[in-house]
């Protein structure tokens, strides 16, 4: 009889390798788009940046969609990426290089992975991915208009926001999953009242819903949506980050993450992934939760969405 041990060992190795790759947190990788760079040779500071807001407390890798130019080397090339805090001149939290194999024909797009030593982040804060650009005839960073990632901003070679409003570069961020936490044993069942205890004459008054109750209702509403595994994971991570921020008494951070969830729901509605009724239910719960935190809710005027065929701009108070 053939032993199953070699196969089990192979499956375990594959699972370990998958964990080492990390889990996607933030993503903006639409199809199409154009290549952006800093000229040939690079002008000004020779770097372009993309802002992102993590929903977790660490980062281990990013993937950038790059596009080959007419002079891409046959033997491939090496490129550099950094993670900065806050602004294009903020503190460098990590730097690494990645190899892009050749040959690549002109305008070919590839996802290039940059692995970092684990970087500690603060969920809900702003960070930037910096890409050190080679000559544009070698490689460019693919980006697209439409403000498809409302939580972040693209920055040009001058370190200022990209001149074309709503431009975002294609990227994915990855975080490390923590080891499993041992669950505490279940609490013993409550003792039933004895026969001598008289039954309550009236049921207790219904208590108003707390912020935690509203967050639970948001989770249930998202779980009921018919979404792909990836989209559901992104929205769940935003709710996880909001829950951690709420438990740490950081209402503004929790509110910002739920606002990011609202933006995701609006985009899904605009793309026809969810119905208007489903989107409205989640947006109403999100507004109640943010009002419960004491932060001023943002408006979501559906008539403006319908009249203009969908509004990707940020809300105004």
CATH number for the domain including 304?
Answer: 1.20.1440
CA distance 221 to 219: 5
Closest CA to 264 of 32, 31, 53: 53
DSSP letters of 143-207? EESS-SSTT--EE-TTSSBPSSTT-EE-EEEEEPPPPPPPPPPPPPPPPPPPTTSPPPSSPPPPP
CB 222 within 8 A of CB 282: yes
Q: Locate tokens 């693209």: which residue?
A: 154
Out of 101-105, 132-136, 159-163, 212-216, which region has the weakest mean confidence (pLDDT)? 212-216
Write the pLDDT tens digit of every residue in 24-42: 999 999 999 999 999 989 9
Asked if residue 149 and residue 34 are part of one domain, the reply reads: yes
Q: Final residue of a domain: which of 175, 200, 225? A: 175
Asked if residue 221 and residue 146 are part of one domain, the reply reads: no
Residue 221 pLDDT grade (very low, low, confident, very high; cuts 50, 70, 90): confident
Asked if residue 244 and residue 148 are part of one domain, the reply reads: no
User: Within 13 Å, how many C-alpha atoms sit on residue 86's CB side?
Assistant: 3
On whether residue 205 sits in a domain, the answer given is no
CA dihedral of 225, 237, 130, 97, whole degrees rounded to 10: -110
On whether residue 194 sits in a domain, the answer given is no
**Which of the residue ranges 2-6, 152-156, 187-191 has the most confident prediction, judged by mean pLDDT?**
152-156
Number of folded domains that form the chain: 2
Asked if residue 228 and residue 143 are part of one domain, the reply reads: no
Write the pLDDT tens digit of every residue in 250-291: 888 888 888 888 888 888 888 888 888 888 988 898 888 888
Q: How remote is the C-alpha of 93 from its chain's centroid?
A: 19
Residue 148 belongs to domain with CATH number: 2.60.120
Closest CA to 133 of 151, 112, 103: 112
Domain span holding position 149: 23-175
Q: Final residue of a domain: which of 175, 193, 219? A: 175
Q: How many CB atoms lie within 10 A of CB 174?
A: 23
């Amino acid at each position: 009889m053939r032993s199953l041990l070699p196969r089990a060992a192979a499956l375990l190795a594959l699972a370990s390798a998958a964990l080492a790759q990390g889990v996607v947190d933030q993503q903006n990788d639409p199809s199409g788009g154009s290549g952006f760079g800093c000229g040939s040779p690079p002008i000004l500071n020779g770097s372009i940046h993309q802002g992102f807001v993590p929903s977790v407390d660490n980062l281990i890798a990013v993937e950038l969609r790059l596009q080959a130019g007419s002079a891409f080397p046959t033997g491939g090339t090496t490129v550099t990426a950094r993670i900065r805090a806050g602004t294009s001149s903020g503190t460098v939290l990590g730097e690494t290089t990645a190899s892009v194999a050749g040959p690549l024909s002109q305008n070919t797009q590839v996802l290039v992975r940059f692995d970092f030593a684990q970087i500690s982040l603060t969920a809900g804060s702003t960070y930037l991915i910096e890409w050190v650009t080679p000559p544009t005839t070698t490689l460019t960073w693919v980006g697209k208009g439409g403000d498809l990632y409302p939580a972040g901003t693209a920055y040009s070679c001058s370190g200022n926001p990209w001149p074309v409003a709503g431009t975002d570069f294609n990227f994915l961020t990855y975080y490390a999953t923590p080891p499993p936490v041992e669950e505490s044993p279940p609490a013993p069942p409550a003792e039933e009242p004895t026969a001598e205890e008289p039954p309550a004459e009236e049921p207790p008054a219904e208590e108003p819903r707390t912020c935690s109750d509203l967050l639970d209702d948001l989770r249930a509403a998202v779980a009921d949506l018919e979404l792909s595994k990836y989209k559901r994971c992104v929205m769940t991570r935003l709710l996880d980050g909001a829950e951690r921020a709420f438990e740490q008494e950081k209402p503004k951070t929790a509110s910002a993450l739920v606002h990011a969830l609202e933006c995701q729901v609006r985009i899904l509605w605009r793309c026809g992934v969810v119905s208007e009724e489903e989107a409205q239910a989640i947006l109403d719960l999100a507004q109640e939760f943010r009002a419960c935190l004491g932060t001023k809710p943002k408006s979501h005027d559906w008539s403006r969405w319908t009249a203009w065929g969908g509004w990707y701009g940020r809300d105004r108070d």
